[in-house]
Structure formats: C-alpha cells, structure tokens
Amino acid sequence: QVQLVESGGRLVKSGDSLTLSCSASTRVFNPYMFGWFRRAPGREREFVAAISWRGDNTYYGDSVRGRFTISRDDTKNTMYLQMNSLKLEDTAIYFCARANGAVYGTLAEKSENYDNWGQGTQVAVSS
C-alpha cells in the first residue's frame, strides 16, 4: 500500500519552468516503472512521461517531448518532472503513478498498467 504524494504545482506564466515532485511513503522495488499523467479540463487523461527502475529508459508523450524531463532519485524515494517552456495547454492536474512491473514502450503509456496513484497536483499556466 504505497502512498504517492505529488507536490510543486502552482500558477505560472507561459514560458516559465516548474518542477513537480512525487514522493513515495515506502521503498520502491524492482521492476517498477513510474510515470506522470495529467488531466486537463474537458480532456481525457493523458500520458506525460515514464521512467524505469534504473532510470535507463524514459518515455515522453508527444505533446511534452523536448520540453519536459523525468528523473528519479531512489535514495530519496522521489521522482521529478521538470517542465520547461510551459504553455497554456499544459494546464492540468498532474498525477504520479507506479506500474506493477517493468513495462516498456507503449505499455508505459497506458494508465491501466499503473496500480498506485497519487492525488494529483494542479498546474495552471496563464498569459
């Protein structure tokens, strides 16, 4: 029953940078994949990014590739999402999640492959 808690969401301006954090209450174990998803107003849940246990495999959604960077520090039980060049379209509630198993490629992009979710943190981009 791992607990995931996101933090760092806030109101920012278009073009700004922001880093989100996701902390786990318990140790993470191989071979879990961790990811970020978001849900924007009026839209369905969207895959943002994912990272493997060792951090040697990362995946990004088309809308954020080149602007966002996912990373993890297992010594701190924390995952990060660094967001650069934020756009109005990035406004959403961002969720971190853990997959049950080493999912790769397109499997990492599917929310149904994740079994633990945080409550989300709101990011609002204006102007």
Predicted pLDDT at 32: 76
Torsion, Cα 86 109 30 54, to 10 degrees, reads: -50
* The two structure tokens encoding residue 79: 């995952």
Q: Which of 66, 86, 75 is nearest to 20 (CA)?
A: 86
pLDDT, tens only, 31-63? 678 999 999 999 999 999 999 877 889 999 999
Q: How far apart are CA 99 and CA 14, in angstroms?
A: 31
Predicted pLDDT at 60: 97
Q: How far apart are CA 27 and CA 42, in angstroms?
A: 35
Higher-confidence position of 65 and 73: 65
Predicted pLDDT at 102: 73
